[in-house]
Amino acid sequence: MYRMIRTATVGLLALGLAGTATAAELKPEEQIQYRQAGYAFMAWNMGKIKANLDGNYSQPQVQAAAETIRAIANSGMGALYGPGTDQNIGDVKTRVKPSMFTEREEVGRLAMNFINAANELAEVAALGDEAEVKSAFGAVGKSCKACHDQFRAD
């Protein structure tokens, strides 16, 4: 992670902006690291929502977390599963199963379920009803797990 961030931000510094980086131009190991970053950051935000549901509920914090999950879910992460990203590359490890690159219909179905669940969570989080958030949060968790169960190695 550290190395990847260094690489990613070297471009930002050098240009004062960002380096060119369409998925096609990214190395496979960069694609793996970026997608893992997205999942990790969603996990942090899922954890925050869970902590809110289990303890004192802060509507603004839950809303911000849900907005983040929604945005990442809709950011086009499919582009980070390019050729060569189906296996470990040096120190860059991935737990993705090869079947994720062949069972396209099923992957698409699961991805849409996840995106829809994330959109729904963000919508109810903005309204602030804790019971509705709990239900929508559970649906997001299930949509995550459905993909992990099928396409992530233990």
Residues of the binding site: 144, 147-148
Cβ 106 to a second copy shortest distance, Å:
19
Q: Which two tokens stand for residue 43?
A: 């996990």
Closer Cβ to a second copy, 105 or 149, answer by number: 149
Site for a second copy contains 39 (CB under 8 A): yes
Cβ 71 to a second copy shortest distance, Å:
4
> Of the ranges 96-104, 105-113, 123-131, 143-151, which one interacts with a second copy (CB under 8 A)?
143-151
Closer Cβ to a second copy, 26 or 107, answer by number: 26
For the chain, the three-class secondary structure string (H helix, E strand, C coil) is: CHHHHHHHHHHHHHHCCCCCCCHHHCCHHHHHHHHHHHHHHHHHHHHHHHHHHHCCCCHHHHHHHHHHHHHHHCCCHHHHCCCCCCCCECCECCCECHHHHCCHHHHHHHHHHHHHHHHHHHHHHHHCCHHHHHHHHHHHHHHHHHHHHHHECC
Asked whether the beta carbons of 121 and 69 are under 8 A apart, the reply is: yes
Residues comprising the binding site for heme c? 144, 147-148
Site for a second copy contains 102 (CB under 8 A): no
Closer Cβ to a second copy, 95 or 105, answer by number: 95
Cβ 64 to a second copy shortest distance, Å:
5
**Whole-number Å distance between alpha carbons of 8 and 131:** 40
Site for a second copy contains 45 (CB under 8 A): yes
> Of the ranges 32-40, 97-105, 110-118, 124-132, which one interacts with a second copy (CB under 8 A)?
32-40
Site for a second copy contains 65 (CB under 8 A): yes
